[in-house]
């Protein structure tokens, strides 16, 4: 007999489950790629390029219900044309189809669901380069960055979500047994069943559609919820390919492919809002600016909303024993945002009177000048610039670069940078503006694109107080502190806990960045998984008065269909 999807991937899954429980990090897809890309079944970039180009200007077929027409919403910031033509389906039909598919998926149980989820990831893994091209040409990210955000690292991140969801499902005791104390020890028994919450909606991220989208998509699937994937209109293709692969795997396993569907429409149709407020949608995943997160929490009342607010990523500089590394790290990070979803540090808080380093005392002015120089060096060569900078895709980003420069002395001006291969790509160097601590209304806005503020504070204590207050209020993907003083590190730790946000200490590597070794699941902790299901119990006398064979699913369906 052919092994089921769970048996095929059991070892992989269990090894990740064990690693998570032990606080370790397993990255099977990334590790396999490093060693033997061919074994991992990854197609070469050349083949992927052919496949990718074959998609252009053609109808992208998904075989979904409720197709109303076709829609094109993307345009490549690198000038690749023509755009792809997606089915536009009636949102109500997609939700209804998901609802119809749900009972069978619930009945499949967590083992089969987790096995099929890993199977989908394995297939996506073989198409990593194609997915990377899709991310590159829709989000504008540099190709190498797109591979990180779309390939094995993204799959490992999704695998972590699968493993967490599987582990939480496995922890629900299947059978309950106890004795009634009052009734002469009458034995009772029960069954626990994990009941999925309902239809799950993934609101696609324009800049990191797979990196930020896959964890929620897979956590929902493994806990038994069908998923409607609504990509950002600017970046449909990466999620469209993902949905198509998922539908194939599900259909091959005898499940309804409509457990995973794609909802794409012209922006003015506001399909995200329509879906997020549908009474049948019970889960919403979203990563991005706080504004839409707030909207979701205000309006998607019927659903549990997993909103990962990019917010005000903040760096506190107190002191360092490696000034060059600090400067290089910040310069690199400040280049790494070409879109509207911030991963790079917006607010860099530094005492006005300067700080201690291995190269002597440095003033705020020194740091500003050195950062500007470091950025220029980094972008000094066109090929290097093209590796570091992504192409701008949104007018909003262009506007922010102009606007932000008005608020303070410009330490590094943003200017156009030529791409060696794509003359029409709009590459911009990062903008670095010096602000005072009192400019709070400027730096507590969430700025898109490569905008960073160097904010002068009275002291590190002042910096930490600002961090605590602004991040507690507006959120952040992470905070970061540079200090050689253990007391400052401990105080920063407390401030980060007060603000409820992750902290990195003396690392230039930042966890929100797909290229980071620190990257992990969005949100925080088990609730990302456990909020997607309930546990329902049935109870009866034990043992049953007469042992009877359990009815088959078909018989049960038939009995229920009677009416």
Which residues ranging from 448 to 467 are in contact with a copy of itself (CB under 8 A)? 458-459, 461-462, 464-465
- Please state the φ and ψ torsions of residue 454, each to the nearest 5 degrees: -100, 110
540 touches a copy of itself (CB under 8 A): yes
- Given the rule CB under 8 A, which of 184-192, 398-406, 423-431, 439-447 is the region that contacts a copy of itself? 184-192
Of residues 2, 54, 81, 175, which one binds a copy of itself by CB under 8 A?
Answer: 175
Which CB sits closer to a copy of itself, 63 or 551? 551
- Which parts of 335-394 interact with a copy of itself (CB under 8 A)? none
Q: How far apart are CA 211 and CA 154, in angstroms?
A: 5
39 touches a copy of itself (CB under 8 A): no
The pair of three-digit structure tokens given for residue 475, joined into one six-digit string: 């959120």
36 touches a copy of itself (CB under 8 A): no
47 touches a copy of itself (CB under 8 A): no
Helix axes 45-55, 128-139, angle to 10 degrees: 60
Bridge partners, 347 (sequence order): 314, 453
Phi-psi group of 12: left, alpha or beta (phi > 0 → left; psi -120 to 50 → alpha; rest → beta) = alpha
Nearest residue to 160 (alpha-carbon basis) of 26, 269, 273, 348: 26
Site string for a copy of itself, 298-337 (x = CB under 8 A): x--x-------------------x----------------
User: In the bound complex, what is the minimum distance in angstroms from residue 233's beta carbon to a copy of itself?
Assistant: 28
Of residues 92, 383, 418, 559, which one binds a copy of itself by CB under 8 A?
Answer: 559
Structure letter (DSSP) for residue 406? G
96 touches a copy of itself (CB under 8 A): no
Which CB sits closer to a copy of itself, 188 or 410? 188
H/E stretch holding 47 reads helix 45-55
Of residues 4, 10, 15, 25, which one binds a copy of itself by CB under 8 A?
Answer: 25
Helix axes 91-126, 5-21, angle to 10 degrees: 80
User: In the bound complex, what is the minimum distance in angstroms from residue 457's beta carbon to a copy of itself?
Assistant: 9
Of residues 1, 38, 81, 181, which one binds a copy of itself by CB under 8 A?
Answer: 181
173 touches a copy of itself (CB under 8 A): yes
Nearest residue to 350 (alpha-carbon basis) of 476, 421, 454: 454
103 touches a copy of itself (CB under 8 A): yes
Phi-psi group of 303: left, alpha or beta (phi > 0 → left; psi -120 to 50 → alpha; rest → beta) = beta
The pair of three-digit structure tokens given for residue 435, joined into one six-digit string: 């602000």
Could you give the 3-state DSSP secondary structure of residue 455? strand
413 touches a copy of itself (CB under 8 A): no
Q: How far apart are CA 210 and CA 148, in angstroms?
A: 10
- Given the rule CB under 8 A, which of 47-55, 206-214, 395-403, 501-509 is the region that contacts a copy of itself? 501-509
Of residues 68, 413, 418, 556, which one binds a copy of itself by CB under 8 A?
Answer: 556
Strands 431-436 and 410-412: what pairing? Answer: antiparallel
Site string for a copy of itself, 190-209 (x = CB under 8 A): xxxxxx--------------
CA-based R_g, the chain, Å: 25
401 touches a copy of itself (CB under 8 A): no
Of residues 504, 512, 513, 514, which one binds a copy of itself by CB under 8 A?
Answer: 504
Of residues 135, 400, 495, 512, which one binds a copy of itself by CB under 8 A?
Answer: 495
Of residues 171, 291, 353, 384, which one binds a copy of itself by CB under 8 A?
Answer: 171
Which CB sits closer to a copy of itself, 409 or 551? 551
Of residues 3, 21, 59, 92, which one binds a copy of itself by CB under 8 A?
Answer: 21
The pair of three-digit structure tokens given for residue 314, joined into one six-digit string: 């903040």
Contact 541, 519 (CB under 8 A): no
Which CB sits closer to a copy of itself, 232 or 482? 482
Which CB sits closer to a copy of itself, 167 or 214? 167
- Given the rule CB under 8 A, which of 164-172, 214-222, 227-235, 285-293 is the region that contacts a copy of itself? 164-172
Tokens 């690292």 map to which residue? 153
Of residues 511, 513, 514, 522, which one binds a copy of itself by CB under 8 A?
Answer: 511
Query: What is the Cα 103 distance to its own chain's centre?
Result: 28
Could you give the 3-state DSSP secondary structure of residue 87? strand
268 touches a copy of itself (CB under 8 A): no
> CB burial class (10 A; 0-12, 13-18, 19+) of residue 275?
buried
Structure letter (DSSP) for residue 131? H
503 touches a copy of itself (CB under 8 A): yes
Length of the chain: 563
Which CB sits closer to a copy of itself, 81 or 560? 560
Nearest residue to 371 (alpha-carbon basis) of 448, 420, 416, 429: 429
- Which parts of 271-300 interact with a copy of itself (CB under 8 A)? 297-298
The pair of three-digit structure tokens given for residue 219, joined into one six-digit string: 């956590």
H/E stretch holding 193 reads strand 187-196
- Given the rule CB under 8 A, which of 50-58, 124-132, 421-429, 517-525 is the region that contacts a copy of itself? 517-525
- Which parts of 475-494 interact with a copy of itself (CB under 8 A)? 486-488, 490-491, 493-494
What DSSP string runs through 148-185? HHHSHHHHHHHHHHHHHHHHHHHHS-SEEEEE-TTTTT
Q: What are the b/e assignments for 49-82, b being 16+ CB within 10 Å?
A: eeebeebeeeebebebbbeeeebbbbebbbebee
H/E stretch holding 284 reads strand 281-288
Of residues 44, 270, 402, 538, which one binds a copy of itself by CB under 8 A?
Answer: 538
562 touches a copy of itself (CB under 8 A): yes
Which CB sits closer to a copy of itself, 304 or 369? 304
Of residues 178, 221, 313, 407, which one binds a copy of itself by CB under 8 A?
Answer: 178
Of residues 68, 174, 383, 418, which one binds a copy of itself by CB under 8 A?
Answer: 174
The pair of three-digit structure tokens given for residue 281, joined into one six-digit string: 């949608």
Strands in 458-501 per DSSP E: 479-482
Of residues 44, 47, 180, 402, which one binds a copy of itself by CB under 8 A?
Answer: 180
């Amino acid at each position: 007999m052919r092994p089921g999807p769970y048996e095929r991937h059991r070892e992989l899954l269990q090894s990740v489950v064990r690693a998570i429980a032990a606080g370790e990090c397993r990255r099977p897809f990334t590790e396999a790629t490093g060693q033997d890309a061919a074994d991992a079944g990854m197609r070469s970039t050349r083949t992927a390029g052919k496949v990718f180009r074959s998609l252009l200007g053609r109808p992208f077929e998904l075989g979904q219900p409720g197709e109303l027409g076709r829609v094109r919403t993307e345009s490549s910031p690198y000038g690749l044309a023509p755009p792809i033509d997606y089915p536009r389906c009636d949102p109500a039909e997609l939700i209804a189809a998901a609802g119809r598919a749900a009972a069978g998926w619930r009945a499949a149980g967590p083992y089969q669901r987790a096995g099929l989820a890993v199977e989908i990831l394995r297939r996506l893994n073989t198409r990593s380069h194609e997915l990377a091209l899709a991310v590159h040409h829709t989000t504008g990210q540099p190709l190498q960055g797109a591979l990180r955000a779309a390939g094995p690292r993204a799959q490992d991140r999704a695998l972590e979500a699968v493993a967490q969801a599987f582990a939480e499902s496995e922890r629900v005791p299947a059978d309950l047994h106890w004795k009634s104390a009052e009734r002469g020890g009458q034995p009772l028994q029960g069954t626990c069943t994990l009941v999925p919450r309902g239809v799950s909606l993934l609101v696609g991220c324009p800049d990191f559609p797979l990196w930020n989208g896959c964890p929620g998509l897979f956590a929902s699937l493994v806990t038994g919820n069908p998923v409607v994937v609504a990509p950002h209109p600017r970046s449909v293709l990466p999620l469209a390919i993902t949905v198509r692969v998922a539908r194939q795997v599900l259909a091959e396993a005898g499940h309804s492919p409509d457990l995973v569907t794609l909802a794409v429409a012209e922006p003015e149709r506001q399909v995200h809002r329509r879906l997020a407020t549908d009474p049948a949608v019970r889960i919403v995943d979203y990563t991005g600016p706080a504004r839409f997160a707030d909207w979701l929490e205000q309006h998607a009342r019927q659903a549990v909303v997993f909103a990962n607010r990019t917010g005000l990523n903040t760096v506190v500089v107190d002191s360092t024993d490696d000034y060059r590394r600090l400067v290089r790290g910040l310069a690199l990070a400040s280049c790494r945002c070409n879109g509207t979803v911030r991963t790079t540090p917006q607010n860099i808080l530094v005492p006005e009177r300067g700080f201690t380093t291995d190269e002597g005392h440095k003033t705020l002015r020194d740091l500003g000048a050195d950062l500007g120089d470091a950025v220029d060096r980094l972008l000094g060569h066109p090929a290097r610039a093209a590796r570091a900078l992504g192409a701008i895709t949104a007018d909003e980003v262009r506007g922010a670069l102009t606007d932000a420069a008005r608020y303070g002395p410009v330490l590094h001006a943003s200017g156009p940078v030529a791409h060696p291969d794509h003359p029409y790509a709009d590459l911009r160097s990062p903008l670095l503006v010096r602000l005072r601590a009192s400019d709070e209304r400027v730096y507590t806005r969430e700025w898109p694109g490569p905008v960073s503020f160097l904010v002068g504070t009275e002291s590190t204590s002042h910096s930490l107080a600002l961090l605590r207050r602004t991040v507690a209020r507006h959120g952040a993907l992470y905070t970061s502190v540079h200090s050689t003083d253990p007391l400052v590190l401990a105080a920063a730790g407390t401030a980060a806990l007060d603000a409820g946000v992750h902290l990195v200490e003396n690392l230039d590597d930042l966890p929100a960045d797909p290229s980071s070794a620190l990257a992990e699941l969005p949100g925080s902790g088990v609730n990302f998984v456990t909020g997607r299901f309930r546990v329902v119990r049935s109870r009866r006398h034990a043992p049953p008065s007469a042992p009877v064979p359990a009815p088959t699913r078909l018989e049960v369906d038939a009995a229920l269909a009677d009416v």
